[in-house]
Amino acid sequence: MNITKTIALAVALLAAPALTQAPLVSAEAFAGAKQARAGNASYYGKRFHGRRTANGERFNMNAMTAAHKSLPFGTKVRVTNRRNGKSVVVRINDRGPYAHGRVIDLSRAAASRIGMLNSGTAPVKIDVL
């Protein structure tokens, strides 16, 4: 393989992850997008506890954190379970969810606080704080 092809391949491989990620949206733009503020939530816990999140910190299933596809890291959101009205404030520190139809992945502690541990998922409303 000649040097030109090697460089082209390296550039393509480095650019590939950026092309597959959802673009970041500002908290203000998200707050104005009605369709992005509601959907199904899921949670993650023991299997990921201690692993690195997308922002570089270690995931703590007992912390009030969440994964969102496009909100900036550090954004605080109120997540309200539409079945029972319970809500929790979480900080975005990871990317996801990657399951179809989900809008946010909560830590186990946050999911417990809004009463969705048994069901695993719940319809939620998300408000940027």
Q: Is the CATH number of domain 22-128 3.30.200.20?
A: no
The first and second tokens of residue 42, run together, are 């899921």
**pLDDT single digits (tens) 37-65:** 899 999 988 888 989 999 999 999 999 99
Q: Does the pLDDT at position 23 exceed 80? A: no
pLDDT classification of 2: cutoffs 50, 70, 90: low
- Which residues in the chain belong to E strands, given as ranges? 38-44, 65-67, 76-81, 87-94, 102-107, 121-128
Domain ranges of the chain: 22-128
Q: Which residues pair with 44 in a beta bridge?
A: 107
CB 83, CB 122: distance < 8 Å? yes
Lowest mean pLDDT among 30-39, 48-57, 68-77, 95-104: 30-39
